[in-house]
Structure formats: structure tokens, C-alpha cells
Amino acid sequence: MTITKLPQADTPTYTHRIDTDEVRPRFDALVEELAHAVFSVDAIATGLNTSLDTVGTIVRSVPSHEGRLLERGIAMLAGFNPDLVVLTQNIRLPVSKAAVELVEMNRPAQYRSLTLDADCSGRKSYTPDLIVLNRKTHVAHVVDVKRSLNSYETSRITDLKTRMLAASLIVPDLLYKEHRRLVAEDVRVVILNAENQRTDIEGGVWPLSHLDHLLEVAGAGEMMKSLQQAFRDRIEQNWKQALQQVTGRGESRGVSATAASPPQANETPVAGPPDADAGPAPEGVVRFGFARIPIARTG
């Protein structure tokens, strides 16, 4: 496996930083909410008392809930950069045959200035987890968050990147028409791998620790790793308490399935009011490609 290291000289310093005192209570509420949904002590104990199939269903739901946790956590942290708009709803992107052929049969330089109509039809589609747009720089990132890529074959990752690039060709038109005249002049795709393995920085596969560069917020990557670990710790804690409850070796209880639902995590709105300064639809060259690490500014 090739490990890509970034030169320290190229690592920029960001103006915006994570306020941990503000984030931690919101992250705690998010962990509580998602853990309460399926992984409460009573829910796990009921599964252990029911059947192996029930237990298997609970275990298999962990990755999807953790993926949802990561998506919502990223949207929260994006709020520390006032220039960002994060879209998480209604972003199903059509993937036409023409768009796929354009990506597969040409070098990026040959289609970087092309855009497709958002109303184009296609039997296939791609739904990113997030679209992150910087309203100041007009750079949009199409983001796919993966809990792990360990089970992905290389061909599957390549196919995913092709679909992402093909779908990104309609993003400028989509943002302008359907999201309050948002303007994107540079669209980049990135797969965020939460396991920090199988990275390909130049090829658009980033470890979660690089979230700082995506959001341009210092400390975002570390904060997301702490969120992920807190969620896993809560599930493990509830699992152990459920075992004690079933075997009668303890009476301590965690999050009860009959308890009142925890408060919804206070998330940052993903899209603000219309930008009066957004201006007309972009008519210049729109660039497409993989996400790139910003270059440190000097002077």
C-alpha cells in the first residue's frame, strides 16, 4: 500500500477554528440521539433474549447509523466557516450515459470546462452525502462519506469516482436553478474515508483527518474522530450493560428504550437565505476534478 504524505510546507493555516466548548454538547446530543434509536440497553437486551437474527440486525445497522453520524457531524462543523453552504437534502444527481462516456473516454483537461443541464434525464443517478459550496471562492465539493473502504475492491472505487465525476457535471446548473442561485465555478469530488486507510490524495480519496482542508476549519478532522469514537464507545457501553441485564449480573442501565427521546442535536442550517450578491448564472469556464489540498499562502 502506498502512503501519501503531505509536505508540511504546503499545509495552510486556516482563519476559522473549531470551538470545542460549543461543539461537544451538540456532539453529545447527536451521539445520544442515534444511540437511543437502535442501540439502547433495552433494545439490545431484547435482541439478546429474542434470537440470533435479531441481534444480527442490530449489529448490521451500526455502519449505516455511523455513516449518518459522520454526515451530520460534518454539516455541524461546516457552520464554523461562514462562507460555506452545506446541502444534504434533495441532491439526487442524474448520471447520463453521455456524462459517463465523457469522463471515461477523455482526460480531465478535456471536459473541465463543460457543464450539463440539470434537467437532463438518465436511468442512473448518484446521491452524494453532501455538497459543500464556498460562496466566497465558488468552489463546490461533491462529498461521499465512507465509514470504511476496506471491503471495496479497486474497481468498485474507480466506478464510484467515475459516477461522482459524471454527476458533478450538472452541479453548477443544479445549484443555480434549484438552490437560490448559488454559483459554482469549480466542482471537485472527494471520498472521505473515516478509517484513514486506502487514501489517494491526488485521486480524490481523503482520510477523515483531512476534513480541515475540505471545510477550511482548523481542528475539524480531530473533532470528527472524537465524535466517531464517542459513538462507538456508547454502543460498546450499552452492549456490555445489556449483557449484564440479560445474565442478571448487574442492574446498571444505560439509555432506556422507554425513556424520553433525547433532544435533537442542534445542527447548523445547511442552507441560508438567498444571497443577494450571488449574481447571474455563471457564464465563464467551470472547472471539474478531484479535491485538492489548498496551498499555504505566504506573505
**Which H, E and C letters describe the chain, residue by residue?**
CCCCCCCHHHCCCCCEECCHHHHHHHHHHHHHHHHHHHCCHHHHHHHHHHCHHHHHHHHHCHHHHHHHHHHHHHHHHHCCCCCEEEECCCCCEEECHHHHHHHHCCCHHHHCCCCCCCCCCCCEEECCCEEEEECCCCEEEEEEEECCCCCCCHHHHHHHHHHHHHHHCCHHHHHHHHCCCCCCCEEEEEEEECCCCCCECCCCEEEHHHHHHHHCEECHHHHHHHHHHHHHHHHHHHHHHHHHHHHCCCCCCCCCCCCCCCCCCCCCCCCCCCCCCCCCCCCCCCEEEECCCCCCCCC
pLDDT at res. 288? 73
Please indicate, yes or no, whether the overall pTM of this predicted structure exceeds 0.75.
Answer: yes
pLDDT at res. 266? 55
pLDDT at res. 111? 82
Q: How far apart are CA 299 and CA 215, in angstroms?
A: 23
pLDDT at res. 186? 93
Q: How far apart are CA 136 and CA 139, in angstroms?
A: 8
pLDDT at res. 216? 95
CB 212 within 8 A of CB 218: yes
pLDDT at res. 255? 44
Strands 139-146 and 130-134: antiparallel
Domain ranges across the chain: 16-80+217-269, 83-212
pLDDT at res. 299? 46
Residues of the chain with pLDDT under 50: 1-9, 250-263, 268-278, 299
Q: How far apart are CA 37 and CA 10, in angstroms?
A: 42
pLDDT at res. 3? 43
**Per DSSP, what are the bridge partners of residue 200?**
205
